[in-house]
Amino acid sequence: MIHRAQKGGAKPASGRFWNVGRSLAAAGTALLLLVTGGVGAAVAAPPYTTNATVSNINFVKDTVGSGSSAEMTAEWTLPDNPTPPAGMTIALPPELAGRGDTFVITASDTGETIANCVARATQLECDFDAGYISENPRNLHGNVNFWVVVKKDVTQTEEESFTVNGQVVTVTVTPPGGTCTTNCDFLWDNRKDGAFDYANNTISWYVHIGAPEAGMAGGQKIEVTDTPGPNQSLTVTDTNPLLMETNEKGPRGDGAIRPQNWQIVPRADYSVDANGTVVFTTKQGYFYQVKYVTDVTDNGATGDYTNRADFTINGQSGGGADGHVRYAGGGGTGIGDNVGVFSITKKVEGDAANLPSDLKFTGTYTVTTPAGDVLDGDFEVAADGTWESDEFPRDSTVHLNEVTPTSPSNINWATPVFSKNDFKLEGGKLTEIQLTNTASVKLGKFSAAKSFDGTKAAQDLVPENATFDLDYSYPAGVGFPAGSGTLKIGADGQRVSSPDLPMGAEVTVTEKAPAAVEGLVWGTPEISPSTFTIGDGTEVAIQVKNPVTEKPTKPTTPTTPEKPAKPELPVTGAGDGAMLGLAGVAGLMLAAGAALMARKRLASRG
């Protein structure tokens, strides 16, 4: 079941009596407190067979003035299938008094009257319409706003607590009055003030005919014409309009000097035609104002009411004045189970991670009621959050549309998908909709190539098939977690591309120490750039340069041969083997000598 309090009311909530400072206006306001009924629909008196439960009673503003009007709000509920007569009462303490306002609580979907209310001096009374609760017997709930006069006297600003219908309500109360700060010297210019009579649903307009401090000259013919604004009708009777005069001036309560002690001029001394035009002749040294009364024809729905007065002096234009009064009466809204509500729950899918926690998704809805009225609105929902609509008439058709997100800038958002669209609302039910967005991170990459810096001889020592490992890493960012990897590049200088990396990643690249090569010294690699940001669909080219040098050859020192040891004399009694060796050597030497002698003899013979 749907159960929520409606916000706002059928009538504007802000404002009080506007532009009321004259003694007659103040007296008229005071009379409102004595009125216990109005000209609107009849209000049944309690007790009721079924009573509404009242909660959350509060002042609309945190600070109110002693002696002034203040607006209050409350929420109400009725049990299902209430037995008529059904009603609501809100008891007021002696320090707060109802102004006699009569107003209605209306249905938030159709504008039908749900209850007729009157703000009596001691309590607010609302009589629920039997026809409405019969047709909408379940989940009846709503709100009400009404005005009271603060009768708590204070001499300084104080926080006060009031018991309203058994609930304690706290508000700051300021003392009445004040000191005039502008236009405090005498002033009586062309002007029009007004005061709303909430009990009688009328506005009293006071037309001031401008005059100097000495008053008007005598014998001038004055003609005053009143033109009511929209949703008003001018009251012309034996007692309306009224001409008032005075020849006295004095300070008001705030110290400003103004005409005072106004007297009603006998009707025989001025004329009023069928259109309400007032004609009179001035007396020397007097001030004048005309009071008009207009009936309000829309029960305060307009909110801001206007009125124009024009006057002539001896047949010549004497100027005019515009006035306006803002309705500040009671009101309220409510609903039964003839409405439906829908909600939108947001789900984000895809490979994107670390999306901003405050990311919001927006869209629009169009509700077409069974009567053909088209109601447009907006929604805003966070990821994994739920947004709930206002209440709309049952059987209304709802069309949803999401504005495709554009942020974060490194995220691609697929077309949003609603679990249901162009659906009808069921009375008294919540229609749940899931809105899914698939998010993927935009991608880019980087590439690297190897080069060397050194002598040709040193570079020739680098193996042609040598490879080098580049380690890269990046911290987590919007849309992606932290990541790392290794890119292998060759000594041939060919550029090698990395895998796809998330756009926005702040990448840092380092090189592992290369494998040792005999005769070669590796210098510290120069990586340019060593840190960079991945772009959308782009490739960052980096260069890795390794300084190389030949390893120097270590010089060798010649070694001196060792001196052989002195041979030792044969030991007496050497073995037979040694002796046989010596004998063999002697035999060979003898044979060689014999052969040499024979060669010499042959030579001599020849």
Last residue of some domain: 523, 550, 577?
550
Domain shared by 466 and 366, yes or no:
no
pLDDT tens for 36-46 read 333 344 455 68
Q: Which domain holds residue 377?
A: 338-440
Domain shared by 472 and 391, yes or no:
no
pLDDT, position 368: 97
pLDDT tens for 309-344 read 999 999 999 889 999 887 777 888 888 877 788 999
Structural domain contains residue 2: no
- Per-residue pLDDT at 362 exceeds 70: yes
Domain shared by 324 and 367, yes or no:
no
Domain shared by 255 and 275, yes or no:
yes
pLDDT, position 553: 73
Kindly indicate the confidence band of residue 252, based on its pLDDT and cuts at 50, 70 and 90. Answer: confident
- Per-residue pLDDT at 538 exceeds 60: yes
Structural domain contains residue 13: no
Structural domain contains residue 65: yes
pLDDT tens for 370-383 read 999 999 999 999 99
Tell me, rounded to whole angstroms, the distance of Cα 442 from its chain centroid: 28
pLDDT, position 580: 40
| CATH code where residue 387 lies | 2.60.40.1140
Q: Which residues contact 365 (CB under 8 A, 6 or more apart)?
A: 376, 377, 378, 379, 389, 398, 399, 400, 401
**Cα–Cα distance, 555 to 167 (Å, whole number):** 105
pLDDT, position 595: 45
Domain shared by 369 and 454, yes or no:
no
Last residue of some domain: 410, 440, 470?
440
Domain shared by 220 and 98, yes or no:
yes
pLDDT tens for 507-521 read 999 999 999 999 999
pLDDT tens for 273-318 read 999 999 999 999 999 999 999 999 987 878 889 999 999 999 999 8
Residue pair 316/187 in contact by the 8 Å Cβ criterion: no
Identify which has the larger pLDDT, 334 or 432: 432
Last residue of some domain: 503, 521, 550?
550
Q: pLDDT over 90 for what percent of the chain?
A: 67
pLDDT, position 255: 83
Kindly indicate the confidence band of residue 557, based on its pLDDT and cuts at 50, 70 and 90. Answer: low
Average pLDDT over residues 531-556: 91
Helix (H) or strand (E) holding 25: helix 23-32
pLDDT, position 572: 46
- Per-residue pLDDT at 1 exceeds 80: no
pTM tops 0.85, yes or no: no
pLDDT, position 42: 45
By CB atoms closer than 10 A (0-12, 13-18, 19+), residue 137 is: middle
Domain shared by 303 and 359, yes or no:
no
